[in-house]
């Protein structure tokens, strides 16, 4: 028996009942389309988080104050005042896997210009702060060492703040705005970053020398965070342990459990968020997979009914020379054709749904070749798996009984 | 020199229904030569259907010998039997057994689909030729439900001819047809037998149909009770002429 003939036989048999074939495929079509769409949306959200976070610098490593104990009382993280400028200097001197380091201090308040005002945040850093956090300066300049040491009242301004307090068409550079009642001269405009994946506006900020923020606004001698750049993304792990060693030495800590700081890297955060997103994707995919399974059972059901209904046809095929294996293959090919054609239509529909959802909701959509190939293979497997039993049943029929079947 | 197409020697067939053994064929001896038109007759339960199933290689005898065109069938396995059916046999059934929603041409092509030596062009040509020989060249693309009973049976006969079998086995092939159409079908069988030399084994229980063949074999209770040449062989075309004129369906 040659396979061209078998394919033709199976195709003709399916074409004899087009509407039923379509309905049978519908289960698979919906199943595959939802798998593709769900995975695409899941992968899309993962990618968007990754992109956002790497845009902040994938070799970013930062130190946050950790909880500290004073006389047996846990103080919590935020009130901690343990990070000092001396730590920053020690890191700069001692860490070989670190290329840049900057303190970070921040405060929030109203920015005022003329009769407009806007609540925003003021961040303080040094010259390297921009490079570490991948913040671009669109126009103007960043502050100088002299401005840092002289606690200069200068700042760089984010697009959202400009939009909300400056009259349209005004060149922000050279203007003086007030933040918490202290006049600040705008020396640069920050490049637009948009929202991050958590919906936070990354353009709603001002950046000034850390000394200015520390002394003029907060009157503190500690810093709220230390931001560093590792040599490369691969070296972040080395950088983390180096930072821990230096910090422990600085803070005279012997056991890691007693750490009063936390070292975190952007790549770790990316991994964490990616894994959350992966769980979500798996969940969505699994639900869609169930509908694919239901579609497969639908095929089995129809094939089973079809074998009973076509008993006389099977008897006839056997009487004119069809062997058991020919009958088996015919029904197997029929069910596989249903699932594979259904799968192909489903892939197309999945693409369509993904891109429609993507453009309607503004979600990123990533259709991975693996998920397409995988769902196609799953379809073929479903056709063979769920077609096997009915096909086997058909091939085992006795031609004499089958011919007489009413 | 005519060769023997079917040779059956002391063939027995038992069925087991629970604990009971039903002896359907109790020792049959038969010989059918090439070019014969044989009717197998008998009441229901006489064993004629069992005989036809065995002759058609759909069933195997319990004991005894069956040679089809020189091939000893008793020793063959299922797949070899299927192969034999495809190459050497043509079946015509009482209820036509055409595939619905499938054109006459495709129905006739069907046996050749199971023969891997026949290419698709040859398959089509042979199917067209078979349909022409049963007088349905103009109905090639009709579906079975667009054809009358007689025409459907003609398609079935074309299907049995398409693989050029050594013998055509017809099982009550006129059983579902009215008298006129029955005679028309028999006329076709007679023509295939005399003009094209086809060997035909025709199972029937109607004596007036059996009269249109050249030899009758009568079964009863699992034995061949009577074997007789039809001396007063009638032509179906003459029977048709003798029928009163009625509106013609076909």
Q: In what order do the strands lie in the sheet with B223-229?
A: B89-92, B167-171, B200-204, B37-41, B215-220, B223-229
Token code pair at residue A406: 């009413």
Q: Decide if B82 and A318 are in contact by the 8 Å CB cutoff.
A: yes
Residues facing residue B247 across a β-bridge: none
On chain A, the residues whose CB falls within 8 A of the CB of B115 are 321
pLDDT at B142: 95
pTM: 0.75
Q: Is the pLDDT assigned to residue A34 strictly greater than 80?
A: yes
On chain B, the residues whose CB falls within 8 A of the CB of A403 are 58, 93, 97
pLDDT tens column, A220-271: 999 999 999 998 888 888 999 999 999 999 998 888 888 888 898 888 888 8
Task: Give dist(CA A63, CA A61) in Å, integer.
Answer: 7
Evaluate whether residue B250 is within a structural domain: no
Task: Give dist(CA B4, CA B20) in Å, integer.
Answer: 36
Name the region of B246 (left: φ>0; alpha: ψ -120 to 50; beta: rest): beta
Q: Decide if B82 and A5 are in contact by the 8 Å CB cutoff.
A: no
Distance from CA of A395 to the nearest CA of B (A): 12
Q: Decide if A315 and B86 are in contact by the 8 Å CB cutoff.
A: no
Taking the C-alpha atoms of A335, A340, A346 and A352 in order, what is their torsion angle to the nearest 10 degrees? -160
Q: What average pLDDT is seen over chain A?
A: 88
DSSP-assigned states of every residue in B143-178: -GGGS-HHHHHHHHHHHHHTT--SEEEEESTTTTS-
Task: Give dist(CA A143, CA A316) in Å, integer.
Answer: 91
Largest Cα separation within chain B, whole Å, is 55
Evaluate whether residue B193 is within a structural domain: yes
Number of domains in chain B: 1
Segment B182-186 long-range contacts (CB within 8 Å, at least 24 positions apart)? B182/B209, B183/B236, B183/B239, B183/B240, B183/B243, B184/B150, B184/B236, B184/B240, B184/B250, B185/B150, B185/B153, B185/B154, B185/B157, B186/B212, B186/B236, B186/B239
Q: For residue B223, what are the domain limits?
A: 4-242
Distance from CA of B241 to the nearest CA of A (A): 35
Q: Name the residue facing B58 among A1, A2, A319 (closest C-beta).
A: A319
The three-state secondary structure class of A72 is coil
Evaluate whether residue B80 is within a structural domain: yes
The neighbour count for residue B197, using CB atoms within 10 Å, is: 10
B99 — contact with chain A (CB < 8 Å)? yes
Evaluate whether residue B21 is within a structural domain: yes
The CATH number linked to B89 is 3.40.50.300
Degrees to nearest 5, angle at CA A251 with A101 and A149: 40
Structural domain spans, chain A: 3-52+272-404, 81-259
Measured between CA atoms, the residue of chain A closest to residue B54 is: A400
Q: How many residues are there in chain B?
A: 250
Task: Give dist(CA B222, CA B61) in Å, integer.
Answer: 13
One digit per residue, the tens of pLDDT, for chain B of length 250 reads 578 999 999 999 999 988 999 999 999 999 999 999 999 999 888 999 899 999 999 999 999 999 999 999 988 999 999 999 999 999 999 999 999 989 999 999 999 999 988 998 999 999 999 999 999 999 999 999 999 999 999 999 999 999 999 999 999 999 999 999 999 999 999 999 999 999 999 999 899 899 999 999 999 999 999 999 988 888 888 888 888 876 555 4
Measured between CA atoms, the residue of chain A closest to residue B99 is: A313
DSSP state of B139: G
pLDDT tens column, B153-163: 999 999 999 99
Evaluate whether residue B179 is within a structural domain: yes
The three-state secondary structure class of B201 is strand
Classify burial at B245, counting beta carbons within 10 Å of its beta carbon; exposed 0-12, middle 13-18, buried 19 or more.
Answer: exposed
What is the ipTM, given to two decimal places? 0.93
Evaluate whether residue B247 is within a structural domain: no
Task: Give dist(CA A82, CA A262) in Å, integer.
Answer: 11
């Amino acid at each position: 028996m040659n396979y061209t003939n078998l394919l033709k036989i199976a195709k003709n048999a399916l074409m004899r009942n087009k509407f039923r074939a379509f309905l049978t495929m519908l289960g698979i079509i919906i199943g595959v389309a939802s798998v593709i769409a769900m995975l695409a949306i899941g992968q899309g959200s993962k990618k968007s988080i990754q992109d956002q976070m790497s845009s902040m610098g994938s070799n970013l490593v930062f130190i946050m104050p950790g909880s500290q104990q004073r006389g047996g009382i846990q103080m919590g993280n935020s009130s901690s005042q343990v990070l000092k400028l001396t730590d920053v200097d020690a890191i700069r001197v001692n860490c070989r896997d670190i290329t840049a380091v900057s303190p970070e201090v921040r405060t929030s308040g109203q920015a005022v210009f003329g009769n407009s005002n806007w609540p925003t945040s003021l961040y303080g850093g040094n010259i390297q702060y921009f490079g570490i956090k991948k913040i671009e300066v669109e126009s103007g300049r960043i502050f100088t060492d002299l401005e840092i040491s002289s606690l200069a009242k200068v700042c760089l301004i984010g697009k959202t703040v400009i939009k909300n307090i400056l009259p349209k068409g005004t060149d922000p550079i050279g203007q003086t705005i007030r933040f918490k009642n202290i006049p600040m001269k705008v020396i640069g405009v920050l490049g637009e970053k948009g929202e991050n994946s958590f919906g936070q506006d990354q353009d709603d900020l001002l950046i000034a020398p850390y000394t200015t923020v520390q002394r003029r606004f907060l009157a503190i001698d500690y810093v709220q965070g230390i931001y560093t750049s590792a040599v490369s993304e691969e070296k972040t792990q080395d950088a983390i342990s180096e930072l821990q060693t230096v910090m422990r030495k600085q803070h005279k800590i012997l056991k890691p459990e007693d750490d009063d700081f936390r070292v975190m890297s952007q790549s770790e955060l990316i991994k964490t968020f990616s894994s959350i997103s992966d769980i979500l994707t798996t969940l969505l995919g699994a639900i869609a997979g169930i509908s694919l399974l239901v579609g497969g059972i639908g095929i089995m059901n129809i094939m089973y009914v079809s074998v009973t209904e076509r008993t006389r046809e099977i008897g006839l095929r056997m009487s004119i020379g069809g062997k058991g294996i020919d009958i088996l293959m015919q029904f197997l090919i029929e069910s596989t054709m249903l699932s594979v054609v259904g799968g192909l239509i489903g892939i197309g529909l999945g693409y369509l749904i993904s891109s429609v959802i993507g453009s309607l909701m503004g979600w990123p959509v990533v259709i991975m070749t693996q998920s397409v190939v995988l769902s196609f293979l799953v379809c073929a497997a479903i056709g063979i798996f769920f077609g096997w039993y009915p096909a086997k049943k058909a091939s085992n029929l006795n031609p004499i009984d089958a011919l007489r079947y009413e | 020199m005519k060769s023997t197409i079917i040779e059956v020697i002391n063939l027995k067939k038992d069925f087991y229904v629970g604990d009971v053994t039903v002896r359907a064929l109790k020792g049959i001896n038969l010989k059918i030569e090439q070019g014969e038109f044989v009717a197998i007759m008998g009441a229901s339960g006489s064993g004629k259907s069992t005989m036809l199933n065995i002759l058609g290689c759909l069933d195997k005898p319990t004991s005894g010998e069956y040679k089809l065109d020189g091939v000893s069938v008793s020793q063959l396995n299922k797949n070899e039997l299927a192969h034999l059916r495809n190459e050497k046999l043509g079946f015509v059934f009482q209820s036509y057994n055409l595939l619905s929603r499938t054109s006459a041409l495709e129905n006739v092509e069907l046996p050749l689909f199971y023969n891997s030596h026949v290419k698709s062009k040859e398959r089509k040509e042979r199917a067209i030729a078979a349909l022409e020989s049963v007088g349905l060249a103009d109905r090639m693309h009709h579906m079975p439900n667009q054809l009358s009973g007689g025409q459907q049976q003609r398609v079935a006969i074309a299907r049995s001819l398409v693989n050029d079998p050594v013998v055509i086995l017809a099982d009550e092939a006129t059983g579902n047809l009215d008298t006129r159409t029955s005679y028309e079908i028999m006329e076709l069988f007679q023509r295939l037998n005399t003009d094209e030399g086809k060997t035909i084994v025709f199972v029937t229980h109607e004596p007036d149909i059996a009269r249109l063949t050249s030899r009758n074999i009568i079964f009863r209770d699992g034995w061949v009770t009577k074997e007789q040449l039809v001396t007063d062989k009638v032509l179906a075309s003459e029977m048709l002429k003798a029928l009163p004129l009625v509106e013609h369906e076909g």
